[in-house]
Each structure stands twice: as C-alpha cells, then as structure tokens.
Amino acid sequence: MTTKNDLIKEAWERLEKSIIYYRGQPVGTIAANDSEVAAVNYDQCFIRDFVPSALAFLMKGQPEIVRNFLKVTLTLQSHDPQMDAFKPGPGLMPASFKIELKDDREDLSADFGEHAIGRVPPVDSCLWWIILLRAYTKATGDIALARQSEFQEGTRLILQMCLAHRFAMYPTILVPDGAFTIDRRMGVYEHPLEIQVLFYAALRAAKELLLSDDDNCTCLDAIEQRLAPLTYHLREYYWIDLKRLNEIYRYRGDEFGKEVANRFNIYAESIPNWLSDWLPKNGGYLAGNLGPGRMDFRFFTLGNLMAIITAVACDRESQQIMNLIEQRWNDLIGDMPMKICFPALEGLEWQIVTGADPKNRPWSYHNGGNWPFLLWFLVAAAQKTNRLELAKKAIAIAQSYLDEDEWPEYYDGKKGRLLGKQARKYQTWTIAGFLVANELISHPHYLDLLSYEME
C-alpha cells in the first residue's frame, strides 16, 4: 500500500519531470505528461495551469522557476495598440506558450486563443499573473522584481485593459463564454463569478505591488474607486441563501426607477426546481453569473472557494459556503474532490447551452465533472475558515485514488467515480494541486501567499 509520504515523493518527482527549460533555465511546466495520447497543446505551459505548480515550488523554497516564468510571460504580453480585430489588445497575457526551435535557436511561441477551441482569448491569464507576482513577492521578500519598470508597466497595462470604460453599468467585467477555466461553451458568458473574484484579487494585488508615483497614480486611483463597489456588488447581488431565495421568489418584475428591489429584473420562474430543496438552512453560495434578467443559479466551485480565500465573501458567507459543501458532500465532492460546477446541464438545456458539445455531456468535463486540481482551493478555503476536518477528509479521498488512477485530469459521473472519458493522465496541475494541499495542511502560513483579510 502506498503511504502518504511515498505519494508526495512521487508527486514531486513527476512535477519536476514536467518542467520546461528555455535556454537552460526552468520557465514553467507542461500541462500533462501522458505518453499514451497525442500531446496536442498539453505540451505547452498554460498560465492558469502553472499557478499550483508555482505555489508548490515557492512552498518548497525553489522560487527560481517562478521568477523566470513571470519574466518570460511578461515578454509575451501584448503591447499592440492597433485596433486590429484579429489581435489581442494591450495588456493581454497569452493562454499558453511553448518553446520552438528556429534556426537552431530556442524561441518562445505564445497562444492568445488563436489556436484554442472556439478561438476565445483568456481573460483570466493576466489576472492570475498579477496574483502570482504577489505570491512570489510574499514568499521570497523579493520586492525588487515587481518594482522593475517593465513589471510596473506590465501591471499597469493589465489594469488599463480591465478598468477601461465599457458599455456597462456594473463594477464587474463583461467577458465572453469560454474565457477562463471553463474554456468551452457552457453558458458562462457575461459576468461569471470566477472572473469577478480573480479581478478583485488582482486589484488588491496590484494595489500592493504598484509604486505610488506619477506613472501609477491614475491606476491606483481607479483601483480605489472600483474595489468598494465591486465588493458590495458581489456580496449583495451574487449571494444566495434561503432568505435571499425567498426574496427572489417574491420579486415583482419590470420595476422602473432607482429604488427597486429587483434591480436586475430576475423572474421567479427562472429559479430552477432543484434549488429550494438542495440549499441547506445554514448554507449559501455566490451565484455563477448575474446580468440583465439573468441569474445563473449553478454552484461554481473555483469562484466560491477563491471568494473565501481572497475575502470577497465576508466571514458569515464564507462559513455558509463551507456549510453547503459539508452538507452536500456527496454532490460536490463524491469520490474525488471536487466538482467544477453543480448541477450538470442535461437534455434540451445541454443541447442549447453547450451547442450539444459531446465533451461537455452531462456529468463530464466542465459540465459537472470532478477535477482533482480543485483540491488545493478547497483546502485553502478550509484553512481560511478553520474547517480543517473538511480539508483532511478531502485529501484522504484524493490520496486513495490519484496514484492508482495515474493522476488524471478529471473524473466523470455524478459522484466522480469514472476516469474522465478524454482525461489526460499525469496532469500537472492535478499533481501540483495535491502537493499544495498537503503543504497547506503542514504549513498553514503558506495561505498568506494568496489570502487577503476583509477591508
């Protein structure tokens, strides 16, 4: 029987085997190392995928690869000011990069979504980049890197892109479907929770990282102006518990004017049948999306857990989210921590919303599949809320399957019992997520790398 220490040792060995080298320097990790399946783009380094790898290396006292990653990806950031509909705007970070040989010389090749399924640019990459820069700074004490002029400019470009004037009346960011972790059509366009929470975390990170000088004063002022309304908006309007659900159920539609209860014109008929019985009396969560006449009542895991870690959710809401996870353990955790969203889209709704996507069939992949990389988010949220019994229980479940199943990308089925139909094995963020989860249990102070306190 494989012991926990043996499993951790194997995970570190596999993580180190996934490292990408550029001109002799470690700069990232590949998405997966599955020799049985064609690599396609799994041999590239994805910014979002590298985050748990980076945290693992920082926690192990190996910051060089993280520093190199931050420098390399900064050189790939888009700076093109031309209004070209086929090019990324200034500030955007690529979804991924790979090393190519050109005239016997290694070169970096970035993908901004030109090669992605659906050709959607990654909105989350630039937000994760700022969050990771802060984590590196806190782990190493190396404030000089973030204060270099090119890093200050790179951070400003991201903020200018995110804080630009838009056709919007909300403090949230409007994005297309497939622009973040859920990168296929799943009805998550508009104002998805994950992007809003990452946006909040990136704003707070940038507030710490930007120097108070003439170059940054406009950005710092914009951050201050955006943070308070963004926080209020998410806590007030995205929040769902039984009290809030009863308010929505009794809403009057088509109210006009400033002082109205139903500000987004949500109709009671849009409340799904499963919700009232599924929602515990002492539980709650942040809705997956909110916009004009639209509230997505699905539970999206990454956004809710990051809301706890980054203090988007207040202390009461954080405890209620953990209560929900505990009381709906079979639905959200099952046999592998944990489900990326709940419930799955099925039947005609699945056909219409996903475009009958066979990879996102019900209870598979992004449509209700179980993703082991989410383990570290769950453990971090449990640390933040002092619910360590849930963290330890989740790690024990993952430990009993991951090695035997060869560290898969995702699991299928209502309880996550089936190895994902198209899941890659030896998925790097599955491996790194397990390591980070265990490091957080052993060394709780590592939570400070990503955590914020309420303002």
pLDDT digits (tens, 9 = 90+) for 180-205: 999 999 999 999 999 999 999 999 99
Domain residue spans of the chain:
4-449
Helices (H), 216-335: 217-237, 242-249, 275-278, 301-309, 315-327, 329-332
What is the tens place of the pLDDT at every residue in 324-372? 999 999 999 999 999 999 999 999 999 999 999 999 999 999 999 999 9
Check pLDDT > 90 for residue 88: no
**pLDDT over 70 percentage in the chain:** 99
Instruction: Give exposure, 82-109, as e/b (b: 16+ Cβ within 10 Å).
Output: eeeeeebbbbbbbbbbbbeeeeeeeebe
Q: What is residue 421's predicted lDDT score, i.e. its pLDDT?
A: 94
What is the tens place of the pLDDT at every residue in 216-233? 999 999 999 999 999 999
First and final C-alpha spacing in the chain: 47
- 62 CB contacts (<8 Å, ≥6 apart)? none
Closest alpha carbon to 298 in 287, 290, 306: 287
- Phi, psi for residue 440 in degrees, rounded to 5: -65, -35
Q: How far is CA 283 from the centre of its chain?
A: 22
Q: Across the strands, what pairs with 111? A: 96
- Phi, psi for residue 225 in degrees, rounded to 5: -70, -30
Name the token pair of 451.
């955590």
4-449: what fold? Glycosyltransferase (1.50.10)
Check pLDDT > 80 for residue 83: no
Check pLDDT > 90 for residue 80: no
Check pLDDT > 90 for residue 114: no
Q: What is residue 342's predicted lDDT score, i.e. its pLDDT?
A: 98
What is the tens place of the pLDDT at every residue in 40-78? 899 999 999 999 999 999 999 999 999 999 999 999 999
Closest alpha carbon to 122 in 50, 22, 207, 56: 50
- Phi, psi for residue 424 in degrees, rounded to 5: -75, 150
Q: Across the strands, what pairs with 165? A: none
Specify the residue for token string 């508009």.
190
Specify the residue for token string 């320097």.
25
Q: What is residue 279's predicted lDDT score, i.e. its pLDDT?
A: 98
In which band, very low, low, confident or very high, does the pLDDT at 79 lie, cut at 50, 70 and 90?
Answer: confident
Q: What is residue 1's predicted lDDT score, i.e. its pLDDT?
A: 63
Report pTM.
0.97
CB-side neighbour CA atoms (13 Å) of 442: 12
Distance CA 226, CA 201 (A): 12
Average pLDDT, the chain: 95
